Amino acid sequence: MAKYHMRSCPLVLSLLSILFYSSIVLAAPVTTYNVVSLGAKADGGTDSTQAFISAWTKTCASANPAIIYVPAGRFDLGKVVFNGPCMNSAIGIHIDGTLVAPSDYSVLGNDGNWLLFEHVDGVTISGGILDGQGAGLWDCKSSGKSCPSGATTLEFTNSKNIVVSSLTSLNSQMFHIVVNGCQKVKMQGVTVAASGDSPNTDGIHVQLSSDVTILSSKIRTGDDCISIGPGATNLWIENVACGPGHGISIGSLGKDLQEVGVENVTVKTVTFTGTQNGVRIKTWGRPSNGFARNILFQHAIMVDVQNPILIDQNYCPGNEGCPGQVSGVKISDVTYQDIHGTSATEVAVKFDCSSENPCSGIRLEDVKLTYKNQAAQASCTYAAGTSSGAVQPSGCL
Ligand SMILES: *[C@@H]1O[C@H](CO)[C@@H](O)[C@H](O)[C@H]1NC(C)=O
C-alpha cells in the first residue's frame, strides 16, 4: 500500500477512505511521497539529498498523516535535517532500500550528524539500512593524523513519540544512533554492525531523555553497545545481544560540576559476547552534583567478558583535569540479579567507588561468574550493600 503514490490515484484514495471511515471513526487519509517520484535515484551514485528534503518538506507540511516511501536500491545522501515541528503527528518513513553516507569523511566533517530529526512529534521509521561508510574516518583516526570528529548516523534531538523498528545501521563514522532531549522513544529490532576496533562507534546513545525503550536489538561495534548519558530517566532495555563492543554503560557521568542525574534504568535479558565490559557504571574522578540511582541489571549472560560487572568512579583519561580529585557522582540502589557466565579476567565483579560519595544500596542476587572454570574474584572499594541467593564471586559486600 505504501508504494502507491496516492495523490495520483483518486480511485484508490476514495476506496481507502471508505475503508478507513468504516473501520476507524474519522481516520484521515494517508498521503505517500515516494522519494523516487521526487527525483531520487536508486543507482548508488547520484546524490538524492534534495529529493529526500523535498519529501520531508511535503510530509511535514501535510495536515493529514503522511508517509515517505524509500523503495529498494542504494540512495546516496549528504546531510539531511528532518526539521519540525510538523503539521501532523503521524509521519511514517518506510524504507526498503539503503541510504548511503558520503564515503569521503570530509563531506560531513565536523557536522555532528548525518540524518538528524529535530523538534518532531510522532515519527515512525521502519525498515531500511543506513550505511555510514565510516571506514575511511576510522583509518584516519587510528593513523594518529588529525581528522574530523565525524558524524552520528541517525540522531533524534528535542523530539517525542518516535518509533524505530527493523532498522539496520552499518559502519557509522561516529555513534550509530543518538537520542538526545527526547520523550517517548521506542526502538525495536534494531541491528547495529561495525568493526570491533572501530573508534567511537557507540551503538545507541541516550541522554537527557525520558521513557526510552530499546527492545530486541543486536549490536556489534567498536565502542559501547548502548551508552547512557546524563539526564536519562525511565529507560528500559530488554532482549539485546551485545558484542563485540564495550558493553552497556551508564556514563561517563560527572564530567561537569552541574549535571542532571540518571534514574530508573532497567537492563534486562542481555547477552554479552566477547565484550570489554558487561554492565558498567562509569564516572569521572572529579567534582560533580550528578547521580545514578534506581538501576536494575537483570538476567544477563556473560560470554568471555573482560569486566562483567563494573563500577568505575575513577575515570580520568590521559590523567588530565582530575588528578588528585574524587568523583562527586552518587551511585545508589543498583541491583544485579541473575547474572551468569564467564569472565575473561580474574576480577569479574569490581566496585571502585568514590571515597567521598561511597556507592550505597548495591545488591547482588544470584550472580555466578567464573574465570577459567573456577570462581572469579570480586573487588570492592567504598561500596556498601547486600548479597542474597548464591553469589559467586562473594565476599565483597
Ligand atoms: C523513577 O521511578 C519512581 C518509581 O516508579 C518514580 O516515582 C519517579 O518519579 C521516577 N523518576 C523519574 C525521574 O521519572
From the CA of 35, how far away is ligand 1's center (Å)?
A: 42
18 has a pLDDT exceeding 70: no
Give the residue among 155, 339, 172 at the shortest CA–CA distance from 247.
339
Residue with cell 551508552: 227
Residue pair 203/192 in contact (Cβ under 8 Å)? The answer is yes
| Residue to mutate (ligand 1; options 183, 210, 294, 333; most atoms within 8 A of CB) | 294
pLDDT tens digits for 209-220? 999 999 999 999
From the CA of 329, how far away is ligand 1's center (Å)?
A: 19
Question: What integer is the mean pLDDT of 169-186?
Answer: 98
Q: What is the CATH number assigned to the segment(s) 28-181?
A: 2.160.20.10
Question: What integer is the mean pLDDT of 292-309?
Answer: 98
pLDDT tens digits for 80-110? 999 999 999 999 999 999 999 999 999 998 8
263 CB within 6 A, ligand 1: yes
**One fold for 28-181 and 224-397:** yes
Residue pair 48/41 in contact (Cβ under 8 Å)? The answer is yes
221 has a pLDDT exceeding 70: yes
Share of the chain above pLDDT 70, in %: 93
Is 94 among the catalytic positions?
Answer: no
User: What does the block give as the cell for 347?
Assistant: 576480577
234 CB within 6 A, ligand 1: yes
Give the residue among 349, 224, 342, 237 at the shortest CA–CA distance from 276.
224
Measured torsion, CA atoms of residues 26, 31, 32, 37, in degrees rounded to the nearest 10: 170
Burial class (CB in 10 A: 0-12, 13-18, 19+), 393: buried
Nearest atom in ligand 1 to 264's CA: 1
Residue with cell 484521515: 28
What pLDDT was estimated at residue 126?
98
Residue with cell 475503508: 19
Peptide bond before 393: cis, by omega within 30 degrees of 0? yes
From the CA of 234, how far away is ligand 1's center (Å)?
A: 7
23 has a pLDDT exceeding 90: no
Question: What integer is the mean pLDDT of 3-25?
Answer: 44
| Residue with the larger pLDDT of the pair 141 and 28 | 141
Query: Which residue type occupies 2?
Result: A
pTM as predicted: 0.92
DSSP 192-228: EE--TT-TT--SEEEES-EEEEEEEEEEE-SS-SEEE
Q: In which band, very low, low, confident or very high, does the pLDDT at 323 lie, cut at 50, 70 and 90?
A: confident
| Fold exhibited by the domain 224-397 | Pectate Lyase C-like (2.160.20)
Residue pair 33/22 in contact (Cβ under 8 Å)? The answer is no
From the CA of 264, how far away is ligand 1's center (Å)?
A: 6
Give the residue among 284, 283, 332, 275 at the shortest CA–CA distance from 307.
275
User: What does the block give as the cell for 366?
Assistant: 544470584
21 has a pLDDT exceeding 80: no
24 has a pLDDT exceeding 70: no
Residue nearest to atom 1 of ligand 1 (CA): 264
* Cβ atoms within 10 Å of 43's Cβ, excluding its own: 11
Q: In which band, very low, low, confident or very high, does the pLDDT at 396 lie, cut at 50, 70 and 90?
A: confident
Query: Which residue type occupies 129?
Result: I
327 CB within 6 A, ligand 1: no
Rounded Cα distance between 351 and 336, Å, is 12
209 CB within 6 A, ligand 1: no
User: What does the block give as the cell for 126?
Assistant: 521502519
37 CB within 6 A, ligand 1: no
Q: What are phi and psi of 19, to 5 degrees?
A: -60, -50
From the CA of 146, how far away is ligand 1's center (Å)?
A: 44
16 has a pLDDT exceeding 90: no
* Cβ atoms within 10 Å of 377's Cβ, excluding its own: 17
What pLDDT was estimated at residue 135?
97
Q: In which band, very low, low, confident or very high, does the pLDDT at 26 lie, cut at 50, 70 and 90?
A: low
Name the residue ranges covered by the structural domains of the chain: 28-181, 224-397
Question: What integer is the mean pLDDT of 247-261?
Answer: 97
Q: Which of 5, 119, 246, 340 is catalytic?
A: 246
Q: In which band, very low, low, confident or very high, does the pLDDT at 395 lie, cut at 50, 70 and 90?
A: confident
Residue nearest to atom 3 of ligand 1 (CA): 264
Question: What integer is the mean pLDDT of 161-173?
Answer: 98
Share of the chain above pLDDT 90, in %: 88
333 CB within 6 A, ligand 1: no
pLDDT tens digits for 45-69? 999 999 999 999 999 999 999 999 9
Burial class (CB in 10 A: 0-12, 13-18, 19+), 324: exposed
335 CB within 6 A, ligand 1: no
Nearest atom in ligand 1 to 210's CA: 14
